[in-house]
Amino acid sequence: MKLQTASILLPAALVVAVPGCDITATTVVAGTLVLTPEVKVPNYFDVDAEVVASAWVAERASATSTDEPTPINGATVAVTYAGNRVSLPAEGSQDGLYLTTSVDDAALEYVDGTQYTFRAALPDGSVAEYGGTVSAPTRLTPAVLTLQPQPTEVFPDLAQVGVHPRNTALTVSWPAGGQYGRYAYVSVLRAKADDLKNPEVVFDNRPESAEEIIQFILGTPPTSVTIPAETFDQDGIYGVIVVMMNKQDDLLPNTFLGSPILAGSGAAVLLGVSSAF
C-alpha cells in the first residue's frame, strides 16, 4: 500500500489560477515528493516506508482559460536532486500522470533540506523543460505531534500502541510552519487481520476539489485537525498518519504559475481501541 501518495494533486485542482499572478504560461506540472511512514505492528500492520514521486502534466487551452487542462501523455518526466536523476514513467491508469517509488527505483531517496526539481519535457520534440523546485523539509517524527486526549496507557502486549477511548474524537496538532513544512493533512488507518499490508482508510482529509487544493496551498495552514469520534467506533489497532509538506521555491520558465510542487514526509502514531477500556 502506498500510504499518503501524491494523489492530493488531482487535475480538477489545477483549473484555477493563483490569485494575484500574471498568468502567461499554459503548461501545468503538479509534482509531489512524499516520504510515507513505516506502519508496523505484529499481526496488525506490515506497511513499509517508501518515497513516492509523482507529476501530473497538462496543458491549459490558453493563458486565461478556466477549462480543465488537457493531460499530456508521452512526456519525459524526471525528478533531479543532489546530482541524481530519477525517471517518472507513465503511471498508466490516469492520463498525464507519471509516478515512481523507492521500491521501483532505489535511487529515489528523501534527503532533508535537499532541493528536488521536477522536470517535464513535452513530446513535441522541443528542448524546453517545465516544472519546479522544492526543498524537502526535515522529516516528521511522532515526537513532534500532540494528541488530545493523550494516551496514558499502553495497549496490552503492544508496547508501541497507546490506548484511545472508543467513540472518542481525537485532536492531532503539529508545529506551525518551520522545519517540518507548512501544509499538513491527516489520514487514519484501521488494521485488517486478513491483509496487514493494505489497512482500511477510515478518515482522510486530503484536499481533492479545486477549492480545497487552493485553500490547502494558499490559505492559512491549520496546525491541528479533529478526527471525528465515529472514526474510532470499532475495536482494533489504528494508525494516525500526519503528512507535512513545503511548497515550491521556484518554477522553471514557461511553467504555469499555479502549478503546485510539494515535498514532505509523514509520521505515524499507533492507537488501540477496545471496548474493554
Q: Percent of the chain scored above 90 by pLDDT?
A: 71
Q: How confident is the model at residue 8 (pLDDT cuts 50, 70, 90)?
A: very low
pLDDT digits (tens, 9 = 90+) for 135-179: 999 999 999 999 999 999 999 999 999 999 999 999 999 998 779
Q: Does some domain include residue 8?
A: no
In a domain, 82, yes or no: yes
Using alpha carbons, list the distances in angstroms from residue 63 to 69, 175, 206, 227, 235.
11, 37, 28, 40, 52
Is residue 46 situated within a structural domain? yes
**Number of domains the chain is built from:** 1
Express each pLDDT in 71-103 by its tens digit.
999 999 999 999 999 999 999 888 999 999 999
| CB neighbour class for 74 (10 Å; exposed up to 12, middle 13-18, buried from 19) | exposed
| Chain position carrying cell 507513465 | 90
217-229 pLDDT, tens digit per residue, is 777 889 999 999 9
The C-alpha atoms of residue 103 and residue 177 are separated, in whole angstroms, by 30
Has residue 121 been placed in a domain? yes
pLDDT, mean over the chain: 88
Band of the pLDDT at 1, cuts 50, 70, 90? Answer: low
The Cα–Cα gap between 268 and 239 comes to: 6
Residue 19 lies in a domain: no
Q: What is the mean pLDDT of residues 177-205?
A: 93
Beta-ladder partners of 55: 31, 98
In the predicted structure, residue 112 carries a pLDDT above the cut 60: yes
Query: What DSSP string describes 206-224?
Result: ---SHHHHHHHHHSPPPSE
Instruction: Say if 13 falls within a structural domain.
Output: no
| C-alpha distances in Å from residue 190, one per residue of 39, 93, 162, 231 | 11, 26, 14, 9
Q: Is the pLDDT of residue 236 over 70?
A: yes
pLDDT reported for residue 223: 94
User: Mean per-residue pLDDT for 115-142?
Assistant: 95
126 belongs to a structural domain: yes
Identify the bridge partners of residue 54 per DSSP, sorted by sequence position: 32, 99
CA distances from 79 to 57, 133, 263 (A): 13, 9, 12
- The residue-averaged pLDDT of 27-36 equals 93
- Which residues form the domain of 170? 25-273
Q: What is the pLDDT of residue 224?
A: 96
> Do residues 139 and 112 make contact, with C-beta atoms less than 8 angstroms apart?
yes
Asked if the structure places residue 181 within a domain, the reply is yes
Q: How far is CA 55 from CA 28, 138, 168, in A?
A: 10, 22, 38
